[in-house]
Amino acid sequence: MRNSTRTLSTLVCLISLGQLASAQSSAASREVNFIADIHKTPDVEWQTELRQHNGWRGFVAQHPQWVVEFNEASGMPRRAFGPPIAVEGANPDERAMNFITGELAGFGLPVQELVPMSTAPANKVTYVHFAQKHVGLPVLFSHVMVKLDAQGHVIAFGADTFDASIVDMQPMIGAGTAATTASEGLSGVTTTTDEGLRILPVPNGHTVDVRLVHEVTVRTASGTPGRYQCWVDAHTGALLHRQNLVVSEHDHGDGADDAADVQVNGSVYTDGALGPLTVEGLPDLRTTINGNFLFADANGFLPTGVAGPVSATFQLRGRWSIVTSGGSNPDFVSTLNEGSNTVSFDADANVRERTAYYHVSSIHNHGIAVLPGFTGMDIALPTKVDVSTATDSCNAYYDGASINFYAQTPGCRALSLYGDVIYHEYGHGINDKFYQSQGGANFTNGAMNEGYADVWSLTLTENPVMTLGWKIGYPDSYIRRYDMDPKVYPIDLVGEPHRDGEIIAGAWWDTYRLLGFDMSLTLQLFSDAFPGLQATAANGLEGQAYRDVLLDVLQADDDDGNIANGTPHGLAIVEAFAIHGITLLSNAQFTHTPVLAASEASPIAINATLNLTFPFSTYVDGGDLHYKVSTASSWTTVPLNVAGSNYSAQIPAQPSGTIVAYYLSAQDIYANAFSSVLPAGAQFEDDTYLPFYTLVGFDLQATEDGDNFSQFGNWNTPVAGDNATTGQWEYGVLIGSYVTPGDPNSIVQPAEQHTVGGELCFFTGNAAGPNESIGANDVDGGKTTIMSDPINLSGYSNPVFTYWRWYTNNSGANPSTDWWQVSISGNNGSTWVPVENTKGTDRSWRRKAFRVQEYVTPSANVRIRFVASDSLRPTIQLNGGSLIEAALDDIQLWDGDENTTSVEEAGDIVSAVYPSPANDALNVVITATDLRALRMDVVDLTGRVVLTPSVANLVAGQPHRIDTRGLAEGQYVLRLVWEGGRSERVFNIMR
């Protein structure tokens, strides 16, 4: 069982743009990132110290209310903004340079090494960008930016420069050796190209290791083609960085009337492969007449200006696209008669070729409308369809010079049938060429690249569901969607560009939604923010890029140059980004020691420190403590008292035997109440992100910590019914697993157990070592269970279990589709009642607490069990396979005085449940409603809660209707639980 090898046998397709992330275990293992900590949040103390340095103190003395975020490695101001600053100059370039040499003189920028990149005017602002060159060599990731408002005043700047004077400029290894190092581990290498020497700043805590590197481009032709950008240390020969830049996922006639005119049509899918074929004009199509090239208009109409009859050659190519299949460009010859003619490509090009051509023109025209003056994609882009290889399928990619769509397979439709896929891949081209047009910048950040490729698609389709029905036989299948389950920073960062890109793309979709589906306004904001070059951030610095986008969007919306006093649409924008964890307080971190236990009859003091990345006090509007007692259905909110960075509040004294759940939140001036939450995600009120739990008046009775205490007897694994083929529960020393080997913040299975000073715990399988792929010995092909021996609770007054758990489920082909389940039995395992059921991920140790009597009657034969599963579901894409890791530690049993109330004496409060069998509705009549923390659940025979009816309108003695239309036929248990009691009734559904 230990160290068994796992293969992703369930993966049928690798979608470069999408939901299928087998690339994580293949492409990710070939890539190398010099950013070691992708989830790093700013060091509050160090940011505070940097603000005390003379450079910033002098600047802010002259310009109060400005705020800054420093590059903690270089000590330079990475991004600063504030009220407008007037500067002299005849044009934006002069103003920017005068600002740099004057206002920023205290920072010691290497002005003589700055070279202009671009001046990018947008609707309300102008960006002036510079890069740094040292003795003629580019300094990678250097970027000086000055942003000017419409009046030419400076409203933001960034000064990411580096001291390159310490670099030994004499390389110790040659280009040939560097090329060999860059190619190691890659298959199908076709060429290696020496791009020359570069200077690479490598962050190292509060310093920068500045390296001389060879830049090498390695091209591969195994499966999806590769174009790897590599940086090899010119002194040590170490491969510091390797990233695949292949991202997967003219004259008209004179209009004379006496001529042969032609309308060129084709049947295409305008709304995906499940929509109808419609006859559309093929825009911008090239036609050859008498040796001359003529181009149709945007509707496929061509007034040739040539008298008929005349022979014309039609090719499936135009101003913006050349479509080929197997290297062949579809064409046909037709005779045009005098007057109106109509021709069709239906007989001479297949539907995939026609659809791809049509949509490339659509996205090209969309791109130039959003970015006026941008001409980088004004080319006939090679558009290759029905691509076939022996090792890859179900794919689409942009390789820097063409967009490519794989042939249909028995498992998936050709993605050239989907406009949104075509827009996505072409969007990579817009990203790529626009950044290059800004002085040679690179759209470096993979998550931003994938997310913004989706934004190009979303803003054209205005449809949040991408590629509906792409999986043959599954009409509800899709690659990504943005109208449900929003991805949140930093919780959902996994180190895979498509997944992480959903965070920023989702923020833009929700901006559009909250702006009242006003696409014109959304595109104006997008157009103004796009030239900010946020995506020049290195992979691993997604949080930095996302925060920069939000600031640029707010400044694009601003009407007076000062976002501190709000912007016209600021509430909608900030709320949209906050849904995805990107807020003005994104890096505000509460520091808090959880109160695990408390004494009865005394208030519970909650104290925390709110650590801000930079002086965002302008945006902080207080914080709240949220708590609820035992099974209360709603949170009570208490404002936190603020004294500087210290936040405090009290939970009122509770009687012995009470469990209190709580979490903390900070809010900003835009009324976003969840700018910062501790524990992260606790506001979602489900089993995924648990709150803190405090036990009031309880005494510890027994512990299983895997190290010094094993007071529950044996833990049994496997048990009857377990069928996981790998990743079964084990006991021992953890070996962590990572999306990116060596990057601790891309962790999937934990590397450390929970017990202070301990070494051992329970976990679902170890890989052979920390550099194995994330698919090595995770839970595969079924479920794995660990279950206690019978525990005698017959003598306990108010027993409570607590445990610490880790569960990850958001990587692989079908993330967030498999269950973590915790159940308890009061009859030695004959029946089970669910305690936790979640399909969500939390890559951290979280503590769960629950009162036994709220689930089963304490007895001499109580068991608890923990199940992690990789379910095989034939009706789900790729059988529902995903990457599952779980761990368990510090299981404890507590007992306390029973927290009794008058409702305990209510006994069995259910007087009737009818009809049974039921069809679409079930009626329940209860005898009392003044029950503290009343909850109603419908449980199936596996012990899973399948329905939680509302109890808001319960009236004693009157029927309460429960809608059961969503339940399958079978037997269920209706369970009512309140503080101090429970009632259950069995009923059936039959149709």
Write out pLDDT tens, residues 501-519: 999 999 999 999 999 999 9
Q: Give residue-wise pLDDT tens across range 103-153.
A: 999 999 999 999 999 898 888 889 999 999 999 999 999 999 999 998 999
**Long-range contact set of residues 231-237: C-beta below 8 Å, sequence gap at least 24:** 231/34, 231/140, 231/198, 231/200, 232/173, 232/178, 232/181, 232/182, 234/171, 234/172, 234/173, 234/178, 234/197, 235/168, 235/171, 235/172, 235/173, 235/211, 236/172, 237/172, 237/173, 237/177, 237/178, 237/181
Q: Which residues neighbour 625 within 8 Å (Cβ) at sequence distance 6 or greater?
A: 606, 637, 638, 639, 640, 649, 651, 662, 664
What's the confidence (pLDDT) of residue 518?
A: 95
pLDDT score for 618? 52
| Parallel, antiparallel or unpaired: strands 981-989 and 381-387 | unpaired
- Per residue in 699-723, pLDDT tens? 999 999 999 888 998 999 999 988 8
pLDDT of residue 571: 83
- pTM for the whole thing? 0.62
| Average pLDDT value for residue range 35-45 | 68
Length of the chain: 991
Residue 363 pLDDT > 50: yes
DSSP classification of residue 903: G
* Nearest one of 201, 117, 124, 220 to 162, comparing CA atoms: 201
Q: What are the two backbone dihedrals, phi and then psi, of residue 798, each rounded to the nearest 5 degrees?
A: -150, 70
DSSP class of residue 440? S
Whole-number average pLDDT of the chain: 84
Q: Positive or negative, the Cα torsion across 18, 22, 25, 31?
A: negative
- Check residue 233 and give its pLDDT: 95
- Which pLDDT tens digit goes with each residue over 186-219? 888 999 999 999 999 998 878 889 999 999 999 9
User: What's the half-sphere exposure (Cβ side, CA atoms, 13 Å) at 678?
Assistant: 21
- Match 């005390």 to its residue by tokens: 52
Exposure letters 531-557 (e unless 16+ CB within 10 A, then b): bbbbbbbbbbbbbbbbbbbbbbbbbbb
Summarised one tens digit per residue, pLDDT across range 452-493 is: 999 999 999 999 999 999 999 899 989 999 999 899 888 788
CA–CA separation, 469 and 466 (whole Å): 9
Counting residues of the chain whose pLDDT is more than 70, the rounded percentage is 87
Average pLDDT over residues 41-55: 74
Q: Region 657-684: what's the mean pLDDT?
A: 76
User: Are 736 and 806 in contact, with CB atoms under 8 Å apart?
Assistant: no
39 band by pLDDT with thresholds 50, 70 and 90 = low
Task: Name every residue whose Cβ is closer than 8 Å to that of residue 473 and which is 6 or more positions away in sequence.
Answer: none
- What does the pLDDT average to over 599-621? 71
At residue 744 the predicted structure's pLDDT band, cuts being 50, 70 and 90, is: low
Tokens at 335, concatenated: 């005779």
Q: Residue range 788-808: average pLDDT?
A: 93
Neighbours of 116 (CB within 10 A): 14
Q: What's the rounded Cα separation, in Å, for the pair 78 and 46?
A: 14
The pLDDT confidence band at residue 46, using thresholds 50, 70 and 90, is confident
Rg, Å, the chain Cα set: 31
Contact 574/609 with Cβ under 8 angstroms?
no
Lowest average pLDDT, out of 93-97, 628-632, 875-879, 965-969, goes to 875-879
Q: How far is CA 386 from CA 349, 356, 493, in A?
A: 12, 11, 33
Strand partners, 761: 732
At 42 the pLDDT is 67
pLDDT band at 66 (very low <50, low <70, confident <90, very high): confident
Predicted local confidence at residue 968, as pLDDT: 83
Is the model more confident about 391 or about 177?
177
Chain segment 549-589, per-residue pLDDT in tens: 998 999 999 988 777 677 899 888 988 998 888 876 655 66
Higher per-residue confidence, 623 vs 174 = 174
Higher-pLDDT residue of 87, 778? 87
| Residue of higher predicted confidence among 255 and 934 | 934
Q: Which pLDDT band holds residue 945 (cuts at 50, 70, 90)? A: confident
The tokens describing 227, both together, are 């174009």
Average pLDDT over residues 899-910: 52
Between 559 and 800, residue with greater pLDDT: 800
Higher pLDDT, 182 or 610: 182
pLDDT tens digit string along 377-427? 999 999 999 998 766 678 899 999 999 999 998 889 999 999 999 999 999
pLDDT value for 613: 42
pLDDT at 257: 40
**What tens digit of pLDDT does each residue of 752-789 get?**
999 988 999 999 988 877 777 666 778 878 889 999 99
Average pLDDT, integer, range 967-982: 79
| Residue 305, helix vs strand vs coil | coil
Tell whether the model's pLDDT for residue 633 goes beyond 70.
no
Q: For residues 634 and 532, which has the higher predicted lDDT (pLDDT)?
A: 532
pLDDT at 107: 92
Coil, strand or helix at 157: strand
813 pLDDT band, cuts 50/70/90, is low
